[in-house]
Amino acid sequence: MTVRIATRRSPLALWQANHVAQLLQAANPGLDVELVGIDTAADLDLSRSIDQIGGKGAFSKEIQQLVLADRADLAVHSAKDLQATIPDGLVIGAYPERGTVHDCLVGARLADLPSGATVATGSARRRALLLDVRPDLNVAGLRGNIGTRLSRLADHDAIVMAAVALERLGEEPDVVDDLDPESFVPQVGQGALAVECRAIDERMRELLASIDHEPTRVVVGAERSFLAELGGDCDLPAGANAQLGSDGKLTIRGVLAPDRNGALLRGEVVELPGADPGAALAQRLRGGDAAGPGDRR
């Protein structure tokens, strides 16, 4: 049996697709895998920001179309790139075990940057978080794959990246400052992979069930519920990070800038997963309420 996996051709995307292939083959001996790679419009157009290209879904929609057109059986995405509402006919069949969640500063430590230093990122969320803690910084735009972004470090004092991307590609820059995910809140789904298949393809759904990691599904599901409640493919600076406690309760922390030039709202909800804490947190932040200790329950 051969399974066709749709993926972007960037080094990180290929790592992710090969990782899923290895998980499937380990769980299903004798399985053959073929990668179906494409360069998306967002990969080819580096002159505009992700928001200008289409925001959430800019890297995933063309991959999804390959599966819907039966040119591939599965699509592997960084969960952070996946729109909150996926197309009709598709289902997320697996969330493999999540990797590192936090962002990091490459090239300098945040506390060591002088006033007026230039930090580069292509993310509106990261820009808002940086300026929230260091309004004295200059934040510049930055696009491209991991190698391209690292090569641009010489043009800036530092750049912000997902730590998991460096880990997966074996990159070890000289200076890496890990940013606390409780305060520098990551993107929804950061560090996780999402694997889609056609909803009617029972054979693929059974295969994907063999690599699904239930704790990851729970926490990423809560984060994606946060995003969906904000408006599906919200292009406002927003992030969420959920963690599952030993008591079965889920803690989700979120950040939102209702106005791109305004102050950030931060909040936290502690609740049982079935109570949809992600949506509850989004409702509070969208209403302008910053959650404090009294919101924990």
Decide if 11 contacts 147 (C-beta within 8 A): yes
3-state secondary structure of 240: strand
CB 284: neighbour CB atoms within 10 A? 19
Rounded Cα distance, 13 and 34, in Å: 14
Decide if 80 contacts 188 (C-beta within 8 A): yes
Looking at the chain, list the stretches that DSSP marks H as alpha helix, in order from N- to C-terminal side. 11-27, 41-44, 50-53, 61-68, 124-133, 146-151, 163-169, 202-209, 214-231, 277-286
289 is catalytic: no
H/E run at residue 269: strand 265-271
Closest CA to 219 of 259, 192, 246, 185: 192
> Which residue(s) pair with 251 in the sheet?
243, 270
Could you tell me the CA-to-CA distances from 31 to 18, 114, 186, 213 in Å, in that order? 13, 54, 35, 20
Cα 293 from chain centre: 27
Rounded Cα distance, 235 and 218, in Å: 24
- The order of strands in the sheet holding 176-178 is 138-140, 118-120, 158-162, 103-106, 176-178
CB 102: neighbour CB atoms within 10 A? 18
Catalytic residue among 81, 103, 157, 276: 81
φ, ψ (nearest 5 deg) of residue 18: -65, -35
Residues belonging to the active site = 81
